[in-house]
């Protein structure tokens, strides 16, 4: 929760600006706050959310097996640790593993996907465990992008979109083709906008893929089944490879919202599309209520790919297999304690009652407080880990930002950091329609922390708007 500002800059803010702020903060000058609250990351543990006990106990037992000799650990924790260690070469988490991942963990992931998707078949050989979902996405992009092609390869991406994907695309020599989500309709995706984006690429690049984020990051929308199937039909018609970023699938809290995977929606459409549309779907143990960001573990499932392409992907993924500790956390995520297990009551209480209730309370308070200001507009938050409200800045503030060489929402975030000790990310980092400004912050915090964030934000915002009115 409390930032060491030197370890991460708000992208779009120069190191010089942050160093000046840090010098001021550390020099002992009087501030209205004692600590900096950093909610610029999608990192629940950084924001103060406690790790799930069962996950950490299994990890501890796997790291130091002598812990299983005593009576401090539940029987099912010991049994899980023993089973997982039995899948490791030499019975040690320090050993190497197969390219795609530990076979038994791949099987667990496969069974999880089948349960999630209502029995739609899932085969372990189509799954690759990776050191993070972003790493997996980058490697799939390497297969899709021809850096020497003319015109260059294009990928349709949503706006707003988290910047790491854009960086991966441009680093590979691809063109990011933006399609804009309709903010005033709850960040809705409209087929007319997808077509407009595709048309805009003519003469500029050759679009080969369509990238989707569901639930949204940074905008907290959740796509409906109807919307997903429209996208799939569009991709089939235009012969686009589908990239489905579904890492926040466990974070859905809108009353009318439901997570439906792209794979399930594709299967429900039926043949011939279900047998022909190429799809890569991504998930991770880093995001959502699991929140084990530092373990850097995710997976990608590949659907309807040519065997020759699968062979090439296998070679790509062999360059950097996922650490075994991360795979153990992933195994626990997809195969948690079940009714009758000694650890189940506590797991159920924390994972299915306390954490969702805390998150729902945060959502309610964020919408209530943010929308109480005439200079803010926050669309209903349905899923994901972030709020991405629009900020209506007065002309004087915009002019002052330009004088400082900053984007207006970056200027706002820096002032918020300096004067209130709260670190948000500016909307310019994620893309936004010209002339609009946003801020992004993680809502996966303890409720008392979120109340403090909103208190500081409210006091700062009132003064800021008075200053530039």
pLDDT at 10 > cutoff 60? no
pLDDT value for 3: 34
132 vs 160: CA distance, rounded Å: 21
| pLDDT tens readout for residues 363-412 | 999 999 999 999 999 999 999 999 999 999 999 999 999 999 999 999 99
What CA–CA distance (Å, rounded) separates 155 from 235? Answer: 12
Q: Is the pLDDT of residue 5 over 50?
A: no
- Same domain, residue pair 236 and 353: no
Whether 79 maps to a domain, the answer reads no
At 448, the pLDDT band (50, 70, 90 cuts) reads very high
Q: Is the pLDDT of residue 150 over 50?
A: yes
Q: Would the pLDDT of 99 be above 50?
A: yes
State the average pLDDT over residues 450-456: 96
**What pLDDT is recorded for position 354?**
72
Name the domain boundary from 268, 303, 334.
334
The domain boundary, picked from 334, 365, 382, lies at 334
Any domain includes 83? no
Q: Identify which of 107, 90, 88 has the alpha carbon closest to the alpha carbon of residue 98.
A: 88
Please give the tally of structural domains in the chain: 2
The contacts of residue 218 (CB under 8 Å, 6+ apart) are 160, 162, 384, 386, 388, 425, 427, 430, 438, 440
- Provide the 3-class DSSP secondary structure of residue 450: helix
pLDDT, tens digit, 9 for 90 and up, residues 52-69? 899 999 999 999 999 999
| Cα–Cα distance for residue pair 81/59, rounded to 1 Å | 7
What is the residue-averaged pLDDT of the chain?
90
Share of residues in the chain with pLDDT > 70 (%): 93
Range 86-111 average pLDDT: 89
CATH code at position 245: 3.40.640.10
Higher pLDDT, 99 or 141: 141
Mean pLDDT (whole number) for 153-172:
93
Q: What percent of the chain has pLDDT over 90?
A: 72
pLDDT digit string, tens, across residues 310-352: 999 988 888 777 788 999 999 999 999 999 999 999 888 887 7
Q: In this structure, what CATH number is given to the domain that contains residue 390? A: 3.90.1150.10
Quickly count: other Cβ atoms within 10 Å of residue 320's Cβ.
Answer: 12
Range of the domain at 111: 96-334
For residue 294, is pLDDT > 90?
A: no
> Strand, coil or helix: what is 373?
coil
Parallel/antiparallel/unpaired status of strands 390-391 and 376-377: antiparallel
């Amino acid at each position: 929760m409390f930032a060491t500002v030197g370890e991460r800059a708000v992208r779009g803010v120069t190191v010089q600006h942050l160093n000046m702020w840090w010098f001021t903060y550390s020099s002992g000058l009087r501030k209205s706050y004692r600590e900096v609250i950093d909610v610029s990351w999608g990192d629940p543990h950084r924001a103060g959310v406690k790790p799930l006990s069962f996950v950490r106990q299994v990890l501890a037992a796997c790291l130091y097996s002598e812990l299983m000799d005593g009576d401090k650990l539940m029987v099912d924790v010991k049994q899980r640790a023993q089973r997982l260690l039995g899948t490791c070469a030499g019975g040690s988490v320090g050993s190497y593993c197969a390219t795609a991942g530990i076979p038994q963990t791949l099987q667990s992931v496969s069974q999880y996907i089948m349960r999630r998707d209502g029995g739609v078949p899932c085969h372990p050989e189509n799954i690759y465990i990776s050191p993070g979902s972003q790493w997996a996405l980058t490697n799939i992009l390497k297969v899709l992008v021809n850096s020497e092609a003319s015109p260059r390869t294009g990928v349709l991406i949503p706006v707003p979109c988290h910047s790491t994907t854009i960086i991966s695309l441009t680093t590979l020599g691809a063109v990011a083709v933006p399609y804009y989500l309709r903010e005033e309709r709850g960040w809705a995706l409209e087929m007319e906008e997808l077509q407009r984006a595709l048309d805009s690429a003519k003469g500029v690049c050759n679009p080969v893929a369509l990238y989707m984020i569901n639930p949204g990051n940074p905008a907290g929308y959740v796509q409906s089944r109807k919307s997903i199937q429209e996208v799939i039909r569009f991709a089939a018609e235009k012969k686009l490879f589908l990239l489905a970023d579904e890492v926040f699938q466990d974070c859905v809290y809108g009353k009318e919202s439901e997570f439906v995977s792209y794979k399930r929606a594709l299967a429900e459409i039926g043949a011939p599309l279900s047998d022909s549309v190429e799809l890569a779907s991504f998930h991770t143990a880093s995001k959502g209520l699991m929140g084990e960001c530092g373990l850097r573990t995710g997976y990608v499932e590949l659907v309807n790919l040519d065997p020759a392409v699968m062979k090439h992907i296998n070679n790509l993924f062999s360059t950097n297999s996922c650490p075994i500790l991360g795979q153990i956390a992933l195994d626990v995520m997809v195969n948690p304690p079940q009714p009758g297990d000694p650890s189940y009551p506590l797991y159920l209480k924390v994972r299915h009652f306390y954490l969702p209730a805390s998150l729902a309370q945060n959502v309610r308070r964020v919408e209530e407080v943010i929308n109480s200001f005439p200079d803010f507009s926050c669309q209903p938050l349905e899923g994901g880990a972030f709020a991405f409200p629009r900020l209506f800045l007065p002309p004087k503030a915009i002019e002052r930002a330009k004088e400082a060489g900053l984007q207006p929402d970056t200027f706002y975030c820096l002032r918020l950091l300096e004067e209130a000790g709260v670190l948000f990310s500016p909307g310019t980092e994620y893309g936004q329609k010209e002339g609009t400004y946003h801020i992004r912050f993680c809502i996966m915090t303890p409720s008392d922390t979120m109340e403090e964030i909103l208190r500081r934000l409210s006091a700062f915002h009132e003064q800021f708007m008075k200053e530039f009115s």
